Amino acid sequence: MKKTTALWLALGLAGYVLLPWYETDAGLLDPAVLAAYIRGEVPSGLAQMLFHGRWWLAAPLIGFAGSLAVLLVVKAQRQAAIGLVTFTAAGLALSAMQGLLIIPSGARLLSFPGTEVGQGSMGIGALLTFCGLLFTLTTGISGLGKGRGDAFVCGLIGAIVASVGVFVFYPVLHVLLRAFELRDKTGYGFGEFLPRLLSADIWGAKCLVFAGPCGSGTNSLILALMTGLGTTVLGLAFALIFTRTNFRAKGLLRVLTIIPIITPPFVIGLALILLFGRSGTVTNLLADVFELERTRWLYGFWGVYLAQVLSFTPIAFLVLIGVVEGVSPSMEEASQTLDADRWQTFRYVSLPLMRPGLANAFLLGFIESLADFGNPLVLGGNFNVLSTEIYFAIVGAVADPARAAILSIALLFLTLGVFLIQRRWVGKKSYTTVTGKADSGRHAALNPGLRAACYALALPWAAFTAVVYSMIAFGSLVKLWGYDHTFTLAHYARAFAIDIGHGLRFTGSAWDSFFTTLGIAAISAPLTALIGLATAYLLVRQRFFGKAAFEFSTMLSFAIPGTVIGVAYVMAFNFPPIELTGTAIILVIVFIFRNMPVGVRGGIAAMSQLDKSLDEASTMLGANSFTTARRVLAPLLGPAILAAVTYSFVRSITSVSAVIFLVSARHNMATSFIVGRVENGDFGVAIAYSAVLILTMLAAILTLQFTIGQRRLRRTNRLEAA
Amino acid sequence: MTNTLPKGSVRFDRVAKRYGNVTALKELSLEIEPGTLVTLLGPSGCGKTTTLRLIAGLESASEGSIFIGGQDVTHLSATYRKVSMVFQSYALFPHMTVLENVAYGLTVKRMRKAEAKQRAEMGLELVGLKGFGNRLPSELSGGQQQRVAVARAIVLEPEVLLLDEPLSNLDAKLRRHVREEIRQIQQRLGLTAVYVTHDQEEAMAVSDRIIVMRNAEIAQEGSPHDLYERPASAFIADFIGDANLVDVEVTAASSSGAEIALCGRKLTLPSAAAPTGPAKLVLRPHQIKLDRMPGQSTFPAEITYAAYLGNQIQYTLQGELGSLFAVAPPIAGAPQVGSSVFVSFEPTEARLVSA
């Protein structure tokens, strides 16, 4: 324990004594910054405290000095651990407090004498100091534990709790705080909060009686209910066809499951505009043949609804394949041997067994619809939903952060509510009967009536999906959709032109954002996989005090819509103590914490399949948990790691809701670039860019499938008898 | 590494284990002598696996102290205990070769690669798998995997070797062979071994001593012979070898045996001891004799079921003594279902347990 502690203390002290405490304009390796650093113009925390009148930066010193004294003086292990924990916890708490309370213009909530100098955002020195103190603390805690105390596990828990705390809960708390701000900006109070949260502006329901527009909250709810229902019914039809019939083109149905992963969320909306917009193909056709009036019906509830059902049916399908396959064939065979016919078997045995899965699929569609930002942005028109209202409250003509905060909280309540229902009610009532035992037998075929109904529902929809997607290909290749259908590559040229006349130069307008997107996605993907899998490892493999709370808080962060996260980041990270807006770092961070669920879910699934006795065997053979994770778990989780990396890469590319708040002129992302094109009516480039993105991601996914396919082949025969 | 292995004793001093409100182990005290193979035997949920995992350090005790080789290891984590374990599922690392598996424990202790390899090869030789080092575990049969698991555990020269139902994944024929091998290796190296099983025949076959557990505590411990011949309770009598338990009344007890009343008849059991009052008579199936004619101290019964097993016939009888289970050699003219027989037993063989 002592060696580890000394190491972390040394790291923290180095940060505190040597490196600049405050954020510098550019990285430390930037020549200008480096020169200033050498001249002593960007002092360390210790120097700031001693020579620049910032006495409050003595806070970390309490932790360091106390811990060093404990290390040198106290011999008994338990006493030393108690001492370390006390001093580092005090140091951390005080350091965090000074950061929150003392900001540039003096104190915010409380004021102290001598703090008029103020301070800027924390920088690299502060980061290292905090890390050093944090991990000294966790090492100390591991020393407290009886027998099973494990510095690696404690450190991992500390790292994840701290990062989720700082990058999920801290920003969300900021939103909460802003929501309590009084209208005249004089302070905070409860008086205005409830009336504003429950105002008719948000929850008005006039549209239900055709007496005017509804509030955005009501709109979101109605839309989510309808989308949830629609996607569940369609998803079930597809799943039944896929698992219970001998439909020939099942391979094509499989394609349906990959589509939503690689489709940026507004692309469906774009394609629908090409079909049903004022000058869309179908609109033109109907106008020419039946002389129907060209209307803007697509821009409103029905357009968004259509786009969402198209976007999220594949997700319901994916969930329901598992559910339908999870119904044990032997149950259905039992029912049939008891003389039930196929319809009765489906009605009284299979369907009730699927009920929790169906509820789950519904809630998923519901949440996705609530959180969806791209489609309402592109197709919403005057139909306001919470996510777009939040966006306009921040970037609109009249920026109103307090209103954005209130709307965010309304949206958060809805998604968290559904999330809690899902966990409490559906999560515990899973009847799926996958036991790991070979369950032979065949699923009962559908009865003819039901099969016909499924076909009638699903096949036209599949065809429609195909048409919508082909729009993306065609739309990017004509001059001006609906008016001038001559073939052209001009859109691609404008976006992705390369000049090789004077050396290689990327002159297209899209290259900047394209490279930024790929770069940031490539940096954040492995980090996401790492933190996701580490979380999964703790959840599946370790027992520790407060695990239930840990699990709940990591899961909770899954339920926060991207728009809310975006707003929260803007509100929290625009000022000291942590000022990140406008940097590329904030984009990386937002991707890590938005996509963490992918890594966690993948990791949990993969790790649950590895017998726990493998870990125990490694422990019994004298390996500590870090060695076990490195030499036993990591190699066996290879495919899961690869999958987590790829999916978080792809999700970073398609993400729009949170990103759109955080991009800057220097760091623009593909999706926000495209949304900008759409807002300018520049559909050609937008669609061409979308097509390029889809192809990029398809390449990533196929590479993954190929690599994993290869690995799995090798591993199954290894694992078979083991 | 033949005769130089350290031999550790294991001692539990009032060790208890609770999970929330569930008691997995009530205050348990036990002592395992160095160099012996002791089996923890009992029905599922009796606490035997918990006991093993407490020795291993995979669980921590809620109360009490655990000593291995005289050292208090109660708060020592599994990584640092000189104990190895053979898992029920073998837990061979599927991504490593057999040799890498066996050398794993040595390499994580930072032993030089060449030396670790050499030691691992010796370990493989010991279990008769020389030359299999470069294979993957999945390329071995179940019995071979089992032996790799044993080799992996013993190359670390543990003070105590733990075996968690090591035979349960093998088919019945292989089991007897492998358990003989395990016993031979244990005896040859003089290892202290703790063996968990729910199969009483397996326990009898391999153990120096058996600790029978029930409801999170020790029911009885002793050598296989002791447990079979002198069961302390009806549970033990029934669990170690089959037994018919017949209600009797002990009318007189002395150092030279017990006098019982059985269905109105008086019998003297010279080698049974019990206080006067109600008791249970232990009759092993093979101790029950079946005759066609009544004799002295015979009890009438009718055969309700007979199963021919080749080497013996198993009978279920219904009669004066209640329902009985008996076996008889499959000789010509053995009694058939429905026939009336007279049951008797040798009083010197019969035992009594408390009711």
Note whether A622 contacts B137, CB cutoff 8 Å: no
Nearest CA in chain B to A147: B75
- Closest in B56, B95, B139 to A636, CB measured: B95
Three-class SS of residue A530? Answer: helix
Count how many pairs of residues, chain A against chain B, have C-beta atoms within 8 Å. 98
Look over chain A and give the mean of its residue pLDDT values, rounded to a whole number: 84
Chain A interface, best mutation among B49, B66, B95, B170, by max A CB count within 10 A: B95
Nearest CA in chain A to B156: A621
Partnered with residue A181 across adjacent β-strands are A188
CATH of the domain at B173: 3.40.50.300
Q: Please indicate, yes or no, whether residues A427 and A558 belong to a single structural domain of this protein.
A: no
Picking from B348, B299, B352, B353, the residue whose alpha carbon sits closest to that of residue B326 is B299
Q: Please indicate, yes or no, whether residues B20 and B142 belong to a single structural domain of this protein.
A: yes
Are A368 and A257 in contact by the 8 Å Cβ rule? The answer is no
CA distances from A717 to A494, A642, A712, B148, B178 (A): 51, 20, 9, 18, 25
Q: End of a domain among B201, B229, B257?
A: B229
Radius of gyration of chain B (CA): 25
Which element (helix H / strand E) includes A517? helix A511-541
The answer to the question of residue B271 being in a domain is yes
Question: How confident is the model at residue B4, as a pLDDT?
Answer: 43
Q: Please indicate, yes or no, whether residues B252 and B212 belong to a single structural domain of this protein.
A: no
Average of per-residue pLDDT across A287-312: 87
Note whether A720 contacts B95, CB cutoff 8 Å: no
Note whether A621 contacts B84, CB cutoff 8 Å: yes
For residue A620, which residues of chain B lie inside 8 Å, CB to CB?
Answer: 56, 58, 78, 83-85, 153, 162
Q: Please indicate, yes or no, whether residues A144 and A236 belong to a single structural domain of this protein.
A: no
Cβ count near A575 (within 10 Å): 16
- Closest in A621, A631, A719 to B152, CB measured: A621
Pairing of strands B160-164, B192-197: parallel
Question: How confident is the model at residue A111, as a pLDDT?
Answer: 62
How far is residue B223's CA from residue B201's CA, in Å, rounded to a whole number? 13
CATH of the domain at B311: 2.40.50.140
Q: Please indicate, yes or no, whether residues B211 and B257 belong to a single structural domain of this protein.
A: no
- Cα of A625 to nearest chain B Cα, Å: 9
Q: Is the pLDDT of residue A107 over 60?
A: no
The total number of structural domains in chain B stands at: 2
Note whether B77 contacts A149, CB cutoff 8 Å: yes
The answer to the question of residue B236 being in a domain is no
Q: Give backbone dihedrals phi and psi of B308, rounded to 5 degrees, phi first.
A: -90, 120
- Closest in B138, B152, B153 to A722, CB measured: B138
The answer to the question of residue A201 being in a domain is no
Q: What is the pLDDT of residues B298-328, one digit of tens each?
A: 899 999 999 999 889 999 999 888 899 999 8
Q: Please indicate, yes or no, whether residues A668 and A542 belong to a single structural domain of this protein.
A: yes
Q: What is the pLDDT of residues B126-169, one digit of tens each?
A: 888 999 999 999 889 888 999 999 999 999 989 999 999 998 88
Q: Please indicate, yes or no, whether residues A710 and A595 belong to a single structural domain of this protein.
A: yes
B308: left (phi over 0), alpha (psi -120 to 50) or beta: beta
Q: Please indicate, yes or no, whether residues B222 and B318 belong to a single structural domain of this protein.
A: no
Confidence category of residue A715, pLDDT binned at 50, 70, 90: very low
How far is residue B212's CA from residue B234's CA, in Å, rounded to a whole number? 13
Which element (helix H / strand E) includes A495? helix A490-496
Question: How confident is the model at residue B151, as a pLDDT?
Answer: 93
Confidence category of residue A438, pLDDT binned at 50, 70, 90: very low
The answer to the question of residue A206 being in a domain is no
The answer to the question of residue B22 being in a domain is yes
State pTM to two decimals: 0.83
For residue A717, which residues of chain B lie inside 8 Å, CB to CB?
Answer: 138
**Of A651 and A430, more confident:** A651
**Of B32 and A486, more confident:** B32
Q: What is the pLDDT of residues A501-536, one digit of tens each?
A: 777 778 888 888 999 999 999 999 999 999 999 999
Note whether A618 contacts B93, CB cutoff 8 Å: yes
Chain B interface, best mutation among A1, A613, A620, A630, by max B CB count within 10 A: A620
Note whether B93 contacts A613, CB cutoff 8 Å: no
Note whether B105 contacts A149, CB cutoff 8 Å: no
Confidence category of residue A148, pLDDT binned at 50, 70, 90: low
Are A569 and A662 in contact by the 8 Å Cβ rule? The answer is yes
For residue A716, which residues of chain B lie inside 8 Å, CB to CB?
Answer: none
Average of per-residue pLDDT across A439-451: 74
- Closest in B84, B93, B139 to A620, CB measured: B84
Q: Can you say whether the dihedral through the CA atoms of A351, A352, A356, A359 is positive or negative?
A: positive
The answer to the question of residue A478 being in a domain is no
For residue A148, which residues of chain B lie inside 8 Å, CB to CB?
Answer: 60, 77
Question: How confident is the model at residue B155, as a pLDDT?
Answer: 92
Q: Which of residues 611-640 of A touch B (CB under 8 A)?
A: 611, 613-614, 616-624, 627, 631-632, 635-636
Q: Please indicate, yes or no, whether residues B96 and B123 belong to a single structural domain of this protein.
A: yes
Note whether B74 contacts A632, CB cutoff 8 Å: no
Q: Please indicate, yes or no, whether residues B218 and B246 belong to a single structural domain of this protein.
A: no
Average of per-residue pLDDT across A359-379: 89
- Closest in A617, A623, A720 to B138, CB measured: A720
Note whether B76 contacts A719, CB cutoff 8 Å: no
- Closest in A147, A715, A720 to B77, CB measured: A147
The answer to the question of residue A166 being in a domain is no
Q: Please indicate, yes or no, whether residues A142 and A250 belong to a single structural domain of this protein.
A: no
Are A233 and A225 in contact by the 8 Å Cβ rule? The answer is no
For residue A146, which residues of chain B lie inside 8 Å, CB to CB?
Answer: 60, 75
- Closest in B60, B93, B153 to A614, CB measured: B93
Residue A715 forms contact with B (CB below 8 Å): yes
- DSSP for A55-103, please give it: GGGGHHHHHHHHHHHHHHH--SHHHHHHHHHHHHHHHHHHHHHHHHHEE
Q: Please indicate, yes or no, whether residues B57 and B95 belong to a single structural domain of this protein.
A: yes
CA distances from A639 to A35, A601, A713, B277 (A): 46, 14, 11, 69
Q: Please indicate, yes or no, whether residues A141 and A284 belong to a single structural domain of this protein.
A: no
Tracing tokens 């031979």 back to the chain, one arrives at B184
What's the longest Cα–Cα distance across chain A?
93
Picking from A612, A628, A596, the residue whose alpha carbon sits closest to that of residue A540 is A612
Q: What is the pLDDT of residues A558-587, one digit of tens each?
A: 788 888 999 999 889 988 888 888 888 999
The answer to the question of residue B24 being in a domain is yes
Confidence category of residue A604, pLDDT binned at 50, 70, 90: confident
How far is residue B37's CA from residue A103's CA, in Å, rounded to a whole number? 70
- Closest in A613, A635, A718 to B87, CB measured: A613
Number of continuous H segments (helices) and E segments (strands) in chain A: 34, 6
Three-class SS of residue A25? Answer: coil
How far is residue B248's CA from residue A67's CA, in Å, rounded to a whole number? 73
Q: Please indicate, yes or no, whether residues B152 and B187 belong to a single structural domain of this protein.
A: yes
The answer to the question of residue B136 being in a domain is yes
Which element (helix H / strand E) includes A562? helix A562-572
Note whether B138 contacts A721, CB cutoff 8 Å: yes
Q: Is the pLDDT of residue B2 over 50?
A: no
How far is residue A523's CA from residue A531's CA, in Å, rounded to a whole number? 13
The answer to the question of residue B4 being in a domain is no
Confidence category of residue A261, pLDDT binned at 50, 70, 90: confident
Cβ count near B270 (within 10 Å): 11
How far is residue A669's CA from residue A658's CA, in Å, rounded to a whole number? 11
Question: How confident is the model at residue A8, as a pLDDT?
Answer: 92
Note whether A622 contacts B89, CB cutoff 8 Å: no
How far is residue A445's CA from residue A435's CA, in Å, rounded to a whole number? 23
Q: Please indicate, yes or no, whether residues A641 and A547 belong to a single structural domain of this protein.
A: yes
What residues make up the domain containing B284?
A: 242-354
Note whether B108 contacts A146, CB cutoff 8 Å: no
Note whether A721 contacts B142, CB cutoff 8 Å: yes
Note whether A623 contacts B79, CB cutoff 8 Å: yes
- Kindly provide the ipTM of the predicted complex, given to two decimals: 0.83
- Closest in B58, B74, B91 to A611, CB measured: B91
Are A722 and B92 in contact by the 8 Å Cβ rule? The answer is yes
Nearest CA in chain A to B160: A620
Give every CB contact of residue A489 below 8 A, 6+ residues apart in sequence: A477
Q: Please indicate, yes or no, whether residues B71 and B206 belong to a single structural domain of this protein.
A: yes
At CB < 8 Å, which residues of chain B contact A? 56-58, 60, 74-80, 83-85, 87-95, 104-105, 108-109, 136-142, 145, 152-153, 156, 162
Q: Which of residues 121-160 of A touch B (CB under 8 A)?
A: 146-150
For residue A722, which residues of chain B lie inside 8 Å, CB to CB?
Answer: 90, 92, 94, 137-138, 145
Q: Is the peptide bond before A448 cis (omega within 30 degrees of 0)?
A: no
Confidence category of residue A436, pLDDT binned at 50, 70, 90: very low
What residues make up the domain containing A287?
A: 225-399+416-432
The answer to the question of residue B2 being in a domain is no
The answer to the question of residue B5 being in a domain is no
Question: How confident is the model at residue A427, as a pLDDT?
Answer: 57
Q: Is the pLDDT of residue A268 over 70?
A: yes
- CB burial readout A376-386, b (16+ within 10 A) else e: bbbbbeebbbb
Picking from A507, A478, A485, A476, the residue whose alpha carbon sits closest to that of residue A689 is A476
Q: Please indicate, yes or no, whether residues B249 and B212 belong to a single structural domain of this protein.
A: no
For residue B137, which residues of chain A lie inside 8 Å, CB to CB?
Answer: 718, 721-722
- Which of A103-117, A137-151, A246-260, A385-399 bottoms out in mean pLDDT, i.e. has the lowest? A103-117
For residue B95, which residues of chain A lie inside 8 Å, CB to CB?
Answer: 635-636, 715, 718
CATH of the domain at A315: 1.10.3720.10
Q: Please indicate, yes or no, whether residues B248 and B101 belong to a single structural domain of this protein.
A: no
Are B224 and B216 in contact by the 8 Å Cβ rule? The answer is no
Q: CA torsion angle for A372, A374, A599, A154 (degrees, to 10)?
A: -70
The total number of structural domains in chain A stands at: 3
Q: Please indicate, yes or no, whether residues B216 and B277 belong to a single structural domain of this protein.
A: no
